[in-house]
Chain A
Amino acid sequence: SATPIIPKRPQQILSPTSALEEARARLHVSAVPDSLPCREKEFSDIYSFVESKLYDGTGGCMYISGVPGTGKTATVHEVIRTLEINVEEDDLPKFKYLEINGMKLTEPRQAYVQLLKELTGQKATPDHAADLLNKKFSTPGPRRETVVLLVDELDLLWTRKQDVMYNIFDWPTKQHAKLVVLAVANTMDLPERIMMKRVSSRLGLTRMTFQPYTFRQLENIVTSRMKGLRVFDDDALQLAARKVAAVSGDARRALDICRRSTEIAESLHKGKGEILVGMLHVNTALEEMFSSPKIVAIRNLSAQEQLFLRAVVAEFQRTGVEESEFSKLYSQHLSLCRFESIQPPTTSELAGMCSRLGSMRLLLVEHGRQDLYMRVRLNISQDDVLYALRDTEFS
């Protein structure tokens, strides 16, 4: 069949042997720890919200926002896990947990289908599923248990009529629904920006924002994962945490950098016994992740291509416009070649170079059929080009 599948591993991965490997396994983004450090307040807020709804037997909505990698989904999962433990100890009434992810749906209206399937096991078309769900939530049922629904990536459920969002937020307001909706998205002002008034008013005002992690929190997260392992130098850890916090405050990014620096440390000191990941390794990893690949690309271009970029900058500086026709650039390139006293390329050769630079996205070019009238723009700033070309052959 044509369905692609991931090829199987030839052999199972061995369990980690060295301390570094153990650290790597723990630092993996998928290895969610038992307790989330630095999110205690958010945890207790969400917990008490859901708990109160469970006790009262009512429904409600909560909107959770925050930039990527701030632990939104992980916290909600943590809340649910704790609630389920409490239910088992008979401290709380029973509930059912459902989850839909906007990114995993092929189409917003598929949300109905998936909801119905998880709720009752039935399969139906989107329209029919919506009808069934409507009926289910608006009529009283004997001994109905509360349903907790996590809607991840809410912004992808947007449709022109917004009927999917409307229904999801409308059901909890029904008397017999007993539905608790936890909606998760990235932007804080999503309800005001894309939702119609009647949708955002049903979403209500129970909102929660996850702030990006500060460097102390990031450091905390990594050390909590490294409990009982002596792998990282403290200063190195702080460097990684500070760098990430300065840019985005994304915990995933911090974990990735730490993982990468363990790899670098391992490859640098192969078979030299126990090693501590130090500043040097973290710094290398940071440079790898944060440095602009475009500058590296420009440094590694061929001489003529570098000269062409120089011609582009020269032409832009001459005209003062950040866009030029290929014919103008060609004559500029010719005169640069004359200055450097090297053999100038033909138009075809230069067009080939131009399209190569365009396919590397250093330039923005049009289709080749316009040939001499093809308009060319730079995809990076002129200063970056000049900086990258500073110590090259023709500078």
Chain B
Amino acid sequence: MEDWRVLEDTVPCREKEIENILALMGQKDQMTPASVFIYGHTATGKSHVVNSLLKISQVPYVLVNCVECYSSRFLYEHILNNLSHTNHTEQYRCDNMNDFIRSFQQIIEEKNYKDHTVYIVLDKAERLREMEANILPSFLRIQELTQCNVCVMFISEIVWDKFRSGTGSCEPYILQFPDYSKDDLMKIMSLDCPTDYDVDFYSNFTNLVLSVFHLVCRDLKELRHLTMLNFDKYIEPIQKGEATMNDSRKLWRNIEPHLRKALQTVYLREVSSAQWEKLQMEMSSTESTAMLSRSHVELPFYSKYLLIAAYIASYNPVKSDRRFFKKVSKMTRRAALMKKKERASNHLLGPKPFPLDRLLAIFYSIVEGRVAPTANIFSQITSLVSIHLLGQTAGDDQIEMPKYKCLISLDFIRSVSRTVNFDVLSHLYDFM
């Protein structure tokens, strides 16, 4: 049982959790709790700790990712086949819990697991709630149902309260994996120090990275990714001979603007990692390249006008249409009064649905020249829907009063209207 000491080096800052799980597991032939529910934030080492513990202690176990098992049949068969390790000619067929329990007992009998605890690890266990209602309660009391020494470990990011359903079930043993502190993160991150650099030097760098990123991001995976990306930039002055290892102030001044820039792209991967590395090689400015999320799409002429009309219809109240689009427009006193009554900006509340008639009316009043309402125009509306620039909210039938919503941002519509020389801001109620 001393093997797990190895873990202390590879999995730091989880000693207490490892100790807890080991205490629950006990000796191989001892009974365990029927079910253990492990939860904690993203990247707190839940799966890693459980998987490596089970691997080291050399007990029979199965790992299942519940996302992969979109039907209960896959879940059952995955567990049975992995537990029995049979050759591929003889696979277990099983599509309900009843068969699963029977086959499970059979495997325990055949494999002589009578004096072992068998572990079933269900990762991303929140998916179990979407499957048939009997699965979660049955897995919770599987020890009782199979009458075997078996333990089910659920790993999830959400709390147990959200798993309870109306009819009640056995409660699992609940174990929480707390978040890593800043020191913990530093300790873990300095594990992947490059071999040709000093550990202190590297942990100095991770400290710098954390000082910038720790406010916005505590996800270990993301932080490790960012550290690795920026390390080359950090050591650049040393390679050039401009600074030494101990010249930390100079190195900091060199890396800080880069880190601040990278802060904008945390989690986003707007510039892909390979691109980022290439950029650092070429020493070019990061902003010069077009980001992946482009706010520019080539559209046909009338589609642009349709989109502008849709934007106006979505964000302007119906009452104001008369003011904007009447032939002889003049601000009456009533209109001025109306403006004052309006409380919140429409741009805060989000787009409102509008009927097709209103869209076409606005379209005809903003477009120059005479446009016939041909099939072409209508098909452009539906293609705008299909490329998700518009959304259809009501009336699935095209003929019967369809309602639409405009799904684009103000910046996008401004760039579109610039290309057709239309001043969209002067037609928006919020900017009057």
**B166 CB → nearest A CB, Å:** 6
Q: Are B102 and A371 in contact (CB under 8 A)?
A: no
Q: Are A359 and B168 in contact (CB under 8 A)?
A: yes
Residues of B within 8 A of A366 (CB): 166
Q: Of the 9-residue stretches A236-244, A310-318, A349-357, which lies at the interface with chain B?
A: A349-357
- In whole angstroms, how far apart are the Cα atoms of A358 and B163 in the complex? 14
Q: Are B165 and A367 in contact (CB under 8 A)?
A: yes
- In whole angstroms, how far apart are the Cα atoms of A158 and B37 in the complex? 47
Contacts known (A348-B159, A371-B161); A359 close to B129, Cβ less than 8 A = no
- In whole angstroms, how far apart are the Cα atoms of A371 and B159 in the complex? 10
- In whole angstroms, how far apart are the Cα atoms of A352 and B171 in the complex? 9
- In whole angstroms, how far apart are the Cα atoms of A2 and B167 in the complex? 26
Contact of B163 (CB < 8 Å), options: A2, A347, A368: A368
Interface members, chain B 280-337 (any A CB < 8 Å): none
Chain A window 281-303, contacts with chain B (Cβ cutoff 8 Å), 1 for yes, 0 for no: 00000000000000000000000
A113 contacts B by Cβ under 8 Å: no
- In whole angstroms, how far apart are the Cα atoms of A365 and B102 in the complex? 33
Chain A window 37-73, contacts with chain B (Cβ cutoff 8 Å), 1 for yes, 0 for no: 0000000000000000000000000000000000000
Contacts known (A2-B102, A348-B159, A369-B129); A356 close to B165, Cβ less than 8 A = no
- In whole angstroms, how far apart are the Cα atoms of A369 and B130 in the complex? 11
Residues of A within 8 A of B165 (CB): 355, 367-368
Contact of B161 (CB < 8 Å), options: A2, A348, A358: A348
Q: Are B102 and A355 in contact (CB under 8 A)?
A: no
Nearest chain A residue, comparing its CB with the CB of B99: A2
Residues of A within 8 A of B167 (CB): 359
Q: Are A368 and B164 in contact (CB under 8 A)?
A: yes
Chain A window 173-201, contacts with chain B (Cβ cutoff 8 Å), 1 for yes, 0 for no: 00000000000000000000000000000
Chain A window 363-381, contacts with chain B (Cβ cutoff 8 Å), 1 for yes, 0 for no: 0011111010000000000
Residues of A within 8 A of B91 (CB): none
Residues of A within 8 A of B88 (CB): none
**B135 CB → nearest A CB, Å:** 14
Contacts known (A359-B166, A359-B167); A368 close to B98, Cβ less than 8 A = no
- In whole angstroms, how far apart are the Cα atoms of A367 and B165 in the complex? 5
Q: Are B162 and A368 in contact (CB under 8 A)?
A: yes
Q: Are A355 and B164 in contact (CB under 8 A)?
A: yes
Q: Tally the A-B contacts, defined by beta carbons under 8 Å.
A: 39
**A73 CB → nearest B CB, Å:** 34
- In whole angstroms, how far apart are the Cα atoms of A366 and B162 in the complex? 11
- In whole angstroms, how far apart are the Cα atoms of A351 and B161 in the complex? 7
Residues of A within 8 A of B102 (CB): 2
Residues of B within 8 A of A348 (CB): 159-161
**A218 CB → nearest B CB, Å:** 38
Q: Are B166 and A358 in contact (CB under 8 A)?
A: yes
**A347 CB → nearest B CB, Å:** 8
Residues of A within 8 A of B160 (CB): 348
- In whole angstroms, how far apart are the Cα atoms of A355 and B159 in the complex? 15
Q: Are A351 and B164 in contact (CB under 8 A)?
A: yes
**B243 CB → nearest A CB, Å:** 53
Q: Are B168 and A358 in contact (CB under 8 A)?
A: yes
Chain B window 153-184, contacts with chain A (Cβ cutoff 8 Å), 1 for yes, 0 for no: 00000011111111110010000000000000
- In whole angstroms, how far apart are the Cα atoms of A366 and B99 in the complex? 30
Chain B window 35-60, contacts with chain A (Cβ cutoff 8 Å), 1 for yes, 0 for no: 00000000000000000000000000
Q: Are B168 and A368 in contact (CB under 8 A)?
A: no
**A189 CB → nearest B CB, Å:** 35
Q: Are B168 and A356 in contact (CB under 8 A)?
A: yes
- In whole angstroms, how far apart are the Cα atoms of A360 and B167 in the complex? 8
Nearest chain B residue, comparing its CB with the CB of A367: B165
Residues of B within 8 A of A359 (CB): 166-168
Residues of A within 8 A of B99 (CB): 2
Residues of B within 8 A of A360 (CB): 168
Contacts known (A348-B161, A368-B163); A355 close to B129, Cβ less than 8 A = no
**B127 CB → nearest A CB, Å:** 12
Nearest chain A residue, comparing its CB with the CB of B164: A368
Residues of B within 8 A of A358 (CB): 166, 168
A-B contact pairs, 12 of them (CB 8 A): A347-B161, A348-B159, A348-B160, A348-B161, A351-B164, A355-B166, A355-B168, A367-B165, A368-B161, A369-B129, A369-B162, A371-B162
A interface residue numbers (CB < 8 A to B): 2, 347-348, 351-352, 355-356, 358-360, 365-369, 371
- Additional 4 contacts, C-beta under 8 A, given A365-B166, A367-B165: A352-B161, A356-B168, A366-B166, A367-B164
